Structure 1
Amino acid sequence: MALSAIPPVYVLYGIVAVGAAKVVYELFFSPLSHIPGPFLAKFTDLYRSGLTHMGHVDIHKRRWHQKWGPAVRVGPNAISISDPDMIKVIYTTKNPWRKSDMYRPNDVVVNGQRIQNVFNTQDAHFHSKYTRPIGGFWTMSKILELEPVMDETLSELLANVDRRFASTSDVCMLEDWISYYAWDAAANVSFGRHYGFMDEGRDVGGIIAESTAGLRYFAPVSQAPLLDELLDKNPVWRVGPRPLVNGFLHTVRILAEYRQQGAARRKPVDLFIDRYSGLKAQYDFVDDAQVTNWLMLNVLAGGDSTSGAMRSVAYHVLKNPIVHARLAAELDAADLELPARWADVTRLPYFDAVMRESFRIAPALGLMLEREVPPSGLELPDGRFVPARTKIGINPCVVTRDRGLFGDDADTFRPERWLRGEGEDEGAHARRVRRMHEATDFMYGHGTRVCMGKHLAKVEMYKLFATLFAAYDIKLTDPDHEWKYHNSWFMYHSDIPCTITRRNKA
């Protein structure tokens, strides 16, 4: 009998029966039925995908964990964990757990073929092959060799702030200038030149907008990867943004110019383009395409993720005048050379506390870093069992609000929590802060897939804010003003209008 001959009512009965069976299975027979969570999340990943699209899924995740505890079922086969002690378990360096398919939408399709990179690959061998040659370039000692290059970018920022704002009383949209700085800084250490965002005071070529559009697509479809197969990866008509096209072409042009200049190019400091290009003689799989791939990851991670962390520092200091005043006093007493030197700012305990508290209260990364439970399964600390192949992970925006670790005021911006408390001995303080560091640094990931650029990001951010708050008096135009944000994997904060004047330390 042809399908068209089946009465429509029977088709409807069939759909209802399948739906009812799905409900019964997920509620009573699924191996995850003992893990509580939102009702709709038990049946479809579209629920968390929709919440992610709206831009504030981190708020929902925190509420779910407050209601249901350290393990919450956020999808038919997905568990969110809030216990900070589980970071070392899920993201172990010994027999690392495989990344889930949430990262696959980040693949690029070229001539019908999916191209993976070191960020999104699920293949441990691929990741090791393409990160091992460059890992030594990202140690703290190698990053500090680039400090003079970072100072060039900071000097460019200071010149623009003086010319555009400090001398004119014009309102500065601080979120824009932090983005311009972060992207220009990433370009300078990578290529030896800025994109020109600060110089022109705008998103040149729409590179930042392209990146934002790409992440706004990636965030929701990563929660339900089948959507990406239907949208961007379908072979008939691809639907979705084309992120970083202009950024890619810009990198290709710079690499071509670099090859043409050859030995005549002045190299007072080895930049990443120098370091990566030098690998072509050492590895048969390194060519210009691979160098371009590595450089693109440099600027993408260095631009979007770093600016997300930077905006948190700026906003929370400006929203807390007492913190701002104490910070300025410590910077004045240090009598810093400007641009501030890394060696000097690392000796400022309150400044360090402010930076870490800013990263804690609003991490740069806002979604769960998913892994697959290994074949042996996972026994949670409370004895519940999670079977193999379950997607599981921790969201930095959840773990950094853990009240058992950070106190009952974990939702409050309070840098003093990082300092040694009255009556607290040195050893107890060191142990407490070490655990806090582990949770806060989780915005860079953990284990074998940790972000290689974490040292670069930290040096750039510490130098930036020590320099800015030592040189300028920065104020929100309205002390009661609240920022806006959109969680699209990275945090996109907006609406931070400020006035800026040169400080008179006399």
Structure 2
Amino acid sequence: MHPVIIVYAALAALIAKFFHFIYTTLTSPVRDVPGPFAARFSKLWYVFAIWTGKAEQINIELHRKHARDGEYYAPVVRLGPNMYSISRPEKAIYGIGSKATKSSWYDTWYDPALEPSLFPDRDPQRHANKRRMFQSMYALSSLLHYEKYVEAVQSIFQERLSEISCDGKQVDLHHWLQCYAFDVVGNITYGRRFGFLDEGQDVGQMITSLDSVLKYATFMGIFSWAHRWVYKYSSNLPGMRGGGLPYLASTVRKELDSRIAQRGKEEKDGGRVHDLDAPRDFLDLALDAEKDPDKAMTMRHVYAMLLSNVVAGSDTTAVSLSSVIFYVARDPRVLARLREELDQAVQDGKATPDCAAFRETQDMPYFQACIKEGLRLTAATGLPLWRVVPAGGVEMLGHYFPEGTEVGINTWLAHYDQTIWGQDVAGFRPERWIEAQEGDGNKLKVMDSNFMPFGLGSRTCIGRHISYLEMCKVIPMIFLNFDIELVNTKLTTENHWFVKPTNFAVKLRRRQN
């Protein structure tokens, strides 16, 4: 074909695309939704918002800026072409049974050559099937299996904190909480710690690799159509190839292969002997389930969940722990009331200064309120939970959203809504939860429906109970044994999906009774 014809054809295609864009913009039922002018034409505005590390604050400010008289938030704002941030967790989008699916943003969270793990799987039926396979291993009733694994790590963590308190130097407590969370994940999943608390540093570059995964998936997800090619051909670029995902995957594969070989040897030597009273790690339970024909589970499913535990099981817990501990330590009134409750539990024989049983912590209402308030103020994720409007479209929040439109609510937006939480929405006040519980139930119902630290609906984080177990175990130990002096009185964060503290510097001292 003649080169001139090719040029004219390409030019004609561009012109046609331009006029199609103008037409759809002018006739779209959501054309009047407010937002940045640049966001009408390109996703680059949204990319820049994430690049700043403050996307959750920009999201909140945008809804406040475009709010009409009498509104705290504008119900809908535009973040990009066909991308809209909503201010309420609408049931039509997030409710159980909703036909809205996750957007293509989630596709970059897994190797495109493999089947997706639970978190990024956009197929509702396949996701439901996988969730059923592993539900019992993550259920609240299964926590007793894992509590001993948490306690073993916590004992070592307490030793490290004692050493730090004697040294008197300033430390980054978030880093140490991430070391704790990583070692707990290792112990629960594989029956052995990764060694972060022993080294006090990034063992095997796992934290660095995970940070790389987060940034790669977050930014590439905006242009997910390119993921298949970028992931495949970027292996020679430093820090690329899925942003460290292959490294984490190889670590998981080694653990899985080692356990399979160990079990094979045990069976060859006369069979495995189970101590019925001994705790069993996640991998052991998963390999047993894989042999159960009723589960329809394959080794690929086992591998995918093991990888998910590593990718999602440490950062989120460390963020949540950092938030609760920071805000309690900053407020002498809250600290005194919490310690009064914890000290009483010790006096009543329900706990020791070194260890509180998970069951007993459920009967500590102020402690539980502190956890909820910490999760509210610093949600671990800080970008909209993107969903695709299903066939037939959806009418909500005063607008009609056509099929294929991407909509999402940012957890931070919901957690800082003054109409839900009161005028002191930015303050750490655990009492708000107790007051709501003591009321007629309506206020608590509204709060709970807008409280989403672990996601929403059928896509709620499957590992939330394990994270909750870790918080219920380690926070009492810290405040019963140590005084925390904050170097900074404001918790600053950086958001590239997970909202990580950047200045949680403290000085620790043994608690003075």
Q: Residue 207 of structure 1 contacts residue 244 of structure 1 at CA under 8 Å; is this kept in 2?
A: no
Q: Does 1:248 align with 2:260?
A: no
Q: Residue 35 of structure 1 contacts residue 73 of structure 1 at CA under 8 Å; is this kept in 2?
A: yes
CA deviation after TM superposition for structure 1 residue 14, in Å: 9.3
- CA gap 1:237/1:278 in 2 versus in 1, 3 angstroms: same
Distance 1:290 1:328 in 2: 43
**Aligned counterparts, 1:88-487, within 5 A:** 88-109=91-112, 113-163=113-163, 165-229=164-228, 231-233=230-232, 240-262=241-263, 263=272, 268-283=278-293, 286-335=297-346, 336-337=351-352, 338-382=354-398, 384-420=399-435, 426-428=438-440, 430-440=441-451, 442-476=452-486, 478-480=487-489, 482-487=490-495
CA deviation after TM superposition for structure 1 residue 247, in Å: 3.2
Distance 2:7 2:206 in 1: 54
Distance 2:319 2:246 in 1: 22
Query: Cα RMSD over matched residues?
Result: 2.8
Q: Residue 319 of structure 1 contacts residue 479 of structure 1 at CA under 8 Å; is this kept in 2?
A: no
Return 5+ residue gaps in structure 2 as ranges: 67-73, 264-271
Q: Residue 172 of structure 1 contacts residue 497 of structure 1 at CA under 8 Å; is this kept in 2?
A: yes
Secondary structure at 1:31 match in 2 = coil
- CA gap 1:192/1:103 in 2 versus in 1, 3 angstroms: same
Distance 1:241 1:11 in 2: 33
- CA gap 1:249/1:11 in 2 versus in 1, 3 angstroms: closer
**Residue 509 (structure 2) aligns with:** 501
Q: Residue 96 of structure 1 contacts residue 448 of structure 1 at CA under 8 Å; is this kept in 2?
A: no
Code of the residue aligned with 1:146 in structure 2: it is Y
**How many pairs align?**
489
Distance 1:145 1:139 in 2: 11
Secondary structure at 2:96 match in 1 = coil
CA deviation after TM superposition for structure 1 residue 466, in Å: 1.4
Q: Deviations over 1:350-374 (max 9, x none)?
A: 2222211111111001111111111
- CA gap 1:496/1:439 in 2 versus in 1, 3 angstroms: same
Distance 1:3 1:51 in 2: 41
Code of the residue aligned with 1:173 in structure 2: it is D
Distance 1:270 1:437 in 2: 33
Q: Residue 46 of structure 1 contacts residue 223 of structure 1 at CA under 8 Å; is this kept in 2?
A: no
Q: Residue 133 of structure 2 contacts residue 297 of structure 2 at CA under 8 Å; is this kept in 1?
A: no
Secondary structure at 2:442 match in 1 = helix
Code of the residue aligned with 2:145 in structure 1: it is E
TM-score, L = length of structure 2: 0.88
Code of the residue aligned with 1:296 in structure 2: it is L
Code of the residue aligned with 1:70 in structure 2: it is P
- CA gap 1:107/1:258 in 2 versus in 1, 3 angstroms: closer
Code of the residue aligned with 1:135 in structure 2: it is Q
Q: Residue 174 of structure 2 contacts residue 319 of structure 2 at CA under 8 Å; is this kept in 1?
A: no
Secondary structure at 2:223 match in 1 = coil
Code of the residue aligned with 1:204 in structure 2: it is V
Secondary structure at 1:157 match in 2 = helix
TM-score, L = length of structure 1: 0.89
- CA gap 1:151/1:42 in 2 versus in 1, 3 angstroms: same
CA deviation after TM superposition for structure 1 residue 287, in Å: 4.1
Q: Residue 42 of structure 2 contacts residue 80 of structure 2 at CA under 8 Å; is this kept in 1?
A: yes
Q: Deviations over 1:264-295 (max 9, x none)?
A: 68671121111100012114853444322211
- CA gap 1:479/1:492 in 2 versus in 1, 3 angstroms: closer
Return 5+ residue gaps in structure 1 as ranges: none
Among 46, 56, 59, the alignment partner of 1:48 is 46
Distance 1:297 1:98 in 2: 20
Q: Residue 56 of structure 2 contacts residue 495 of structure 2 at CA under 8 Å; is this kept in 1?
A: yes
Distance 1:11 1:96 in 2: 38
- CA gap 1:248/1:19 in 2 versus in 1, 3 angstroms: closer
Q: Deviations over 1:175-205 (max 9, x none)?
A: 1101001111111111111000001111110
Between the two proteins, what is the percent identity of the paired residues? 28
